[in-house]
Amino acid sequence: MLLSLGILIFVIVFYCMITEKVASAYATMLGALAMAFLGIVNEEQILETIHSRLEILLLLIGMMIIVSLISETGVFQWFAIKVVKIVRGDPLKLLILLSIVTATCSAFLDNVTTILLMAPVSILLAKQLKLDPFPFVMTEVLSSDIGGMATLIGDPTQLIIGSEGKLSFNEFLINTAPMTIIALVILLTVVYFTNIRKMQVPNRLRAQIMELESDRILTNKKLLKQSIIILTAVIIGFVLNNFVNKGLAVISLSGGILLAFLTEREPKKIFGAVEWDTLFFFIGLFVMIRGIENLGVIKFIGDKIIELSTGNFKVASISIMWLSSIFTSIFGNVANAATFSKIIKTVIPNFQSVADIKVFWWALSFGSCLGGSITMIGSATNVVAVSASAKADCKIDFMKFFKFGSKIAILNLIAATVYMYLRYL
């Protein structure tokens, strides 16, 4: 009975999230509390679950503070205008540079914030060049999903995988960043041959672009300098954490609070910029995953993976990547990463003799981040981009997103399969 109720709660919560009938934070929190009242999880387990994820939550708070202050400077829009002037309005060069900027920012900043700032700028530039903004927006969205795969802090899914797998910032750089570059090349190649190759921009419009003044966009140069210094220090801290051993949450919070102090902002304003709905969404989600684990669902899926792979490490690794990509496209990459992290922990004991068991975690990373490009609900970045595009008169519906994103995601997943096989298997 409890098993049926627990699965029903899980399905209802994700139905509400997919259809946007209920805000995600409310949906997961209500689902978690429903499980608590039914006795699927108790208060001690809830507190233990939150405690074990505090590093993720505090790291996110620190980065949210830094990003919110950086966004006040107008540096993202300034950079976009600089880029379009550098390429002199050439559609292909514009697409490539905007994608690289978006992917790079997404690797080291919150990719949701990155796409929220970059998407409207791309639409504006495309319209000024009299081009269809859709391929530019979609390419940036997928670049953000791909770029977030490069580092531990690039995407919430990576934070979950890093926490569960006890993986360092540098390990992600070494193992997932190369695949990020490959995936980005595949994305740009496909978009060029399917969308950009036939685009032409008249010389008159190129001249208008060259007249745009980017310097007026920078609203606070002092804050920009402070932000760059502190963000650089935080990223260096992440890279050197294996040696300084202070913890990612401490490093992130130190940077956020120091920058807030230097800018002399009111604490209420600074903490008001923290996306509390996102944090409570994660808390509710983590508790729900604990409930599903208590019901034995995660162990059941893990046993099925072992059964299907017949104890073959190669088959198990590739199965985790492809299955997690499918789950991601339906439930979203955060929910997928949280669920499959538990599944991997049930699978690992059966492969203790394997030298590099961490391959399972890289498989999950590829499945979650690349699979997030399949559907509009595959990642929070996608949802935010679609919303931002609609406000800028560039409507993207579910099927339009699916047709564009799914073919690139599948090609990238095939490439990731080859990458995993050649490097690890």
For helices 380-391 and 111-128, angle between their N-to-C axes, nearest 10 degrees: 30
pLDDT at 171: 93
Cα–Cα distance, 315 to 364 (Å, whole number): 14
| DSSP state string for 258-293 | HHHHHTT--HHHHHHTS-HHHHHHHHHHHHHHHHHH
State how far the Cα of 171 lies from the Cα of 129, in Å rounded to an integer: 42
Q: pLDDT at position 242, please?
A: 65
Helix (H) or strand (E) holding 104: helix 91-108
Residue 355: predicted pLDDT:
64
- What sign does the dihedral 344-326-287-291 (CA atoms) show? negative
The CA–CA distances, whole Å, from 166 to 29, 54, 158, 285, 313 equal 26, 14, 11, 20, 20
Contact call for residues 259 and 251 (beta carbons, < 8 A): no
Q: In which residue ranges of the chain is pLDDT below 50?
A: none
Paired tokens of 5: 């109720």
- Position 113 scores a pLDDT of 67
C-alpha to C-alpha distance for 140 and 163, rounded to whole angstroms: 28
How far apart are the C-alpha atoms of 104 and 235, rounded to whole Å? 13
* 135 closest CA partner among 325, 407, 357: 407
Note whether 46 and 72 are within 8 A (CB).
no
* Pairwise CA distance, residues 7 & 41, whole Å: 14
User: pLDDT for 56-106, tens place per residue?
Assistant: 788 878 888 887 888 788 776 777 677 777 888 788 888 888 899 899 988
Give per-residue burial for 19-53: e unless 16+ CB within 10 Å, then b: eeebebbbbbbbbbbbbbeeebbeeebbeebeeeb
Q: What angle do CA 269, 274, 280 make, to 5 degrees?
A: 135
395's tokens: 């409507």
Q: How far apart are CA 421 and CA 394, in angstroms?
A: 40
Distinct helix (H) and strand (E) counts, the chain: 23, 0
Given this model, what pLDDT does residue 393 score?
Answer: 77
pTM of the model: 0.78
Average pLDDT value for the chain: 85
Distance, CA of 63 to CA of 254 (rounded, Å): 10
